[in-house]
Amino acid sequence: MTSVELMAREFSHIGSRVPKYDAPEKVSGDVQYLLDLEMPGMLHAKVLRSPYPHARIVSVDVSGALRVPGVVDVITAKDVKLNNLGYLKDHPPLKWGKVRSVRDEVAAVAAVDPERALEAIHAIKVEYEPLPSVTDPLRALDPGAPLVHEEFGTNRANLDFSLEFGDVDDAISRADIVVEGTYSTQYVAHNPGDTMGALAWVDAHGTLNVIANTQTPFLYQRWLAESLGIPAYSIRVIQPYIGGAFGRNLDVYPHDVIVAALAMRTRRPVKLQFTRSEELQNAPTKQPLIARVRQGATKDGRLVAREVDAVIDAGAYVGWGVFDARVMQYTVTGLYRVPAVRFRTTVVYTNNPYTAAMRSAGNSQITFAVESNTEELAERLGMDPVEFRLLNANAPNTVTPQGAKITTCAMSDAIKEAARRIGWRGRHSAGPNRGIGFACYFHVGGGARIYRSDGCGATLKVDDFGGVVVTVGGTEIGEGLDTGIQLITAEALGIPRDRVRVVINGDSTIRLWDVGTHASRGTFICGNAALRAALDAKRQILEGAAQLLGTQSSDLDLRDGFVYSRSDPSRRMEYDKIVRRMHFSKGARGTVVVASSFYEPPSEEPDDRWYGNVSAAYGFGCQAVLVEVDRETGRVKVLKVVSAHDAGRVINPNGFEGQVQGGVAMGIGLALLEELVLSDGRVVNGSFEDYRMPRITDMPEIEAVSVGQPDPEGPFGVKGMAESPVIPTGPAIANAVADAIGVRVRDLPITPEKIWRNLSAKTQ
């Protein structure tokens, strides 16, 4: 039975509301996160970090630390040979010579408890010679600006995501209207439940075992090995239950390498896990963006050109956040139909924190810029924003200028549904101090080839009692991949859902490769791997049944736990009985049902011009937001969000709605509340008292709407949508605020102070 045939029939599981697979152990408290894990003889590590954003290290004296009772090891860069981390290999796990940001690791301690470790950290004497710092990315390229990495001779990082398709200058010059603006987004913390950390030990075989809440266990193995200079096959990565990550844990960080090095030196288990304030101060942040956007359109509202100049502040080292630019590319070139597009990027080193990808990986930032500008353009055209968006909406079976092959696409339906359900009646008609705003998005929905392989493997076994264990390379970080895998496996095999046990996370050495959980790819990619393994297992069972029953397997099907004859459905037998007979029938050479698969999506790495179809499917949607603004305080209250998505077939409405609710919450945080405030590179609001995430009282009514058709490449038609709801929330709110009070805020977050200052300026 092919995937297409499968999609044509009625489902037993797909589309039904099922609780999250790991809900029982999470509700009961049986789950153990990294925070809960301990080992006998385990040491605790702490890191001494630079207090300066930029300084020369004159001397380090660790003798005091070594005298603290209970201290087992103290290391600096002089004690261990570690290779640099990161895409540009610009990031030493332990710093020597100089520090380039406040978080920079200068020394580390392993001691019998965290208190002694901290005491030892305080006993290390470091003499610094402070250097002038540069924390404004726009000034970092000025001649004479302090150099973050002197050896490069410039603060411009050796990365360029610029591209151009079509003749932008010509199109702009011929446009009837051109609107330009500069938009910026802030430093934001990921703030999952889990803080960053790792627990490492060397076992008796000499294998380095690491329990890490990484999102990319197989890349972690590779990069950790490279930094430690040991063979990757001697590293075993184990993932515990992970309490969220949101992109922060895609990379290997200095503390990962430090913990491993301490474990290798002490031959004892060593654990390091950030406290919440360490997390807020030292974890990589969401990538901030400064983007000048210029769009041109014809009088009748057709987009003809888009140009974006982006400044990407890498901070002191190039982290994954910088590669947000690759996601931005696709929105710059692909959101709405625009024939001529240009994207210029400048990646700049500063003495600020370095960055990580965060849910949508650049798309929430660039969509804020583009959709704010789009709204301004529509306004200048005098066009209804819904009408304008419908006119330019993406359409199925088109190719974007950058080469994204759009197959299924229901963006127009999403726009219409959002407008209808929010009660859109045109501009400035939502009532006094109220406004409605819209924003659309274009995002990968079938993986994202940011690495040479975007695949995932699955293995599946059926035991003698019909119990199925499906083991996937994918990573569960709370997103619900486990649930999707169970649903897809049970549906494809044709058996009750409770027979399927999903093995995910845990020991990565027994799982097949997966690039990691990011880019909303899990259910699409790993689901496709599980689907293929399940269909193979089903084929084996039907062939076994045909042999046992003396019939053709083509006449047999498996459904709801029974193998039955298609021509005479009353002839049927429990599938587990078939499996037992295949294994145990006298005279037969026994066989057991086992299958494996590796799904590599039909996407492609971009070429030198950054042209290429990066994903096997794309997601689209539109969000409509109703806000109310308090003119006295400048406070914006979001009253309602309609979040309409073309995510192909929704296989589990609970999961779909959960992602929408979480994404909208995070989007509200980005739009209105959250900001890591920096002063000379240092976070000054590093606690939950000072850093304001959305609370339940900040949450609006949310309507999650599914539009569109099953995608032919997705398992049972699904497209990824985990990141999507966060993307358009910010610009939709900004557009709603403008609709409500005529104030356009172009730099996030939209704080009461900014509103109030804008209103005050207007009334003066």
Residues in the site for a copy of itself, rule: CB under 8 A?
Answer: 24-25, 27-28, 30, 203-207, 218, 221-222, 225, 231-234, 452-453, 455, 457, 459, 461, 463-467, 469, 471, 499, 501, 503, 509-510, 512-513, 576, 583-586, 589-592, 594, 596, 598, 600, 602, 605
Q: Which residues, at least 6 apart from 550, have a Cβ–Cβ distance to it below 8 Å?
A: none
Nearer to a copy of itself, 457 or 720 (CB): 457
Structure tokens at 330: 């696709």
Nearer to a copy of itself, 460 or 624 (CB): 460
Q: Write the secondary structure of 549-565 as one string of H (helix), E (strand) and C (coil).
A: HCCCHHHEEEECCEEEE
Nearer to a copy of itself, 190 or 581 (CB): 581
Neighbours of 96 (CB within 10 A): 12
Nearer to a copy of itself, 16 or 585 (CB): 585
CA distance 63 to 79: 13
Nearer to a copy of itself, 13 or 116 (CB): 13
Contact 246, 359 (CB under 8 A): yes
Nearer to a copy of itself, 81 or 586 (CB): 586
Region of residue 552 (left: phi > 0; alpha: psi -120 to 50; beta: else): beta
Structure tokens at 421: 């359900």
Shortest Å distance, C-beta 259 to a copy of itself: 19
Shortest Å distance, C-beta 530 to a copy of itself: 14
Shortest Å distance, C-beta 225 to a copy of itself: 7
Contact 723, 523 (CB under 8 A): no
CA distance 193 to 554: 50
Contact 519, 215 (CB under 8 A): no
For 630, which DSSP code?
Answer: -
Instruction: Describe the chain by its helix, strand, coil percentages, rounded to 5.
Output: 30, 25, 45
Nearer to a copy of itself, 235 or 736 (CB): 235
Shortest Å distance, C-beta 125 to a copy of itself: 37
Amino acid sitting at position 569: P
Contact 2, 713 (CB under 8 A): no
Nearer to a copy of itself, 251 or 278 (CB): 251
Q: What count of residues does the chain have?
A: 764
Between β-strands 105-111 and 197-202, what pairing exists: parallel, antiparallel or unpaired?
unpaired
Shortest Å distance, C-beta 579 to a copy of itself: 10
Give the N- to C-terminal CA distance of the chain in Å, as an integer: 71
Shortest Å distance, C-beta 299 to a copy of itself: 45
Shortest Å distance, C-beta 46 to a copy of itself: 26
Shortest Å distance, C-beta 345 to a copy of itself: 23
Amino acid sitting at position 730: G
Nearer to a copy of itself, 62 or 545 (CB): 545
Shortest Å distance, C-beta 92 to a copy of itself: 24
The label of the residue with tokens 């240009």 reads 342
Shortest Å distance, C-beta 276 to a copy of itself: 25
- Between the alpha carbon of residue 749 and those of residues 250, 337, 683, the distances in Å are 25, 28, 16
Q: Which residues, at least 6 apart from 144, have a Cβ–Cβ distance to it below 8 Å?
A: none
Nearer to a copy of itself, 131 or 558 (CB): 558
Q: Which residues, at least 6 apart from 640, have a Cβ–Cβ distance to it below 8 Å?
A: 422, 625, 626, 700, 701, 702, 703
The backbone torsions φ and ψ at residue 366, rounded to the nearest 5 degrees and listed phi first, read: -70, -30
Q: Which residues, at least 6 apart from 361, have a Cβ–Cβ distance to it below 8 Å?
A: 247, 320, 323, 324, 327, 518, 519, 723
Nearer to a copy of itself, 197 or 466 (CB): 466
Between β-strands 355-356 and 285-286, what pairing exists: parallel, antiparallel or unpaired?
parallel
CA distance 173 to 502: 57
Shortest Å distance, C-beta 270 to a copy of itself: 16
Shortest Å distance, C-beta 110 to a copy of itself: 19
The label of the residue with tokens 């046992």 reads 548
Nearer to a copy of itself, 604 or 630 (CB): 604
Nearer to a copy of itself, 174 or 267 (CB): 267
Shortest Å distance, C-beta 327 to a copy of itself: 21
Nearer to a copy of itself, 12 or 551 (CB): 12
Shortest Å distance, C-beta 499 to a copy of itself: 6
Nearer to a copy of itself, 218 or 320 (CB): 218
The sign of the dihedral angle between the CA atoms of 140, 141, 142, 147 is positive
Shortest Å distance, C-beta 589 to a copy of itself: 5
Shortest Å distance, C-beta 29 to a copy of itself: 9
Nearer to a copy of itself, 628 or 713 (CB): 713
Q: Write b or e for each residue in 501-532: b if 16 or more Cβ atoms lie within 10 A of its Cβ, otherwise e.
A: ebbbbeebeebbbbbbbbbbbbbbbbbbbbbb
Q: Write b or e for each residue in 223-260: b if 16 or more Cβ atoms lie within 10 A of its Cβ, otherwise e.
A: bbbbbbeeebeebbbbbbbbbbbbbbbbbbbbbbbbbb
Helix (H, G, I), strand (E, B) or coil at 685: coil
Shortest Å distance, C-beta 595 to a copy of itself: 8
Nearer to a copy of itself, 337 or 580 (CB): 580
Shortest Å distance, C-beta 730 to a copy of itself: 35
Find how far residue 124's CA is from the centre of its chain. 37
Q: Which residues, at least 6 apart from 108, have a Cβ–Cβ distance to it below 8 Å?
A: 45, 46, 47, 48, 74, 75, 94, 258, 262
Nearer to a copy of itself, 358 or 515 (CB): 515
CA distance 436 to 641: 10
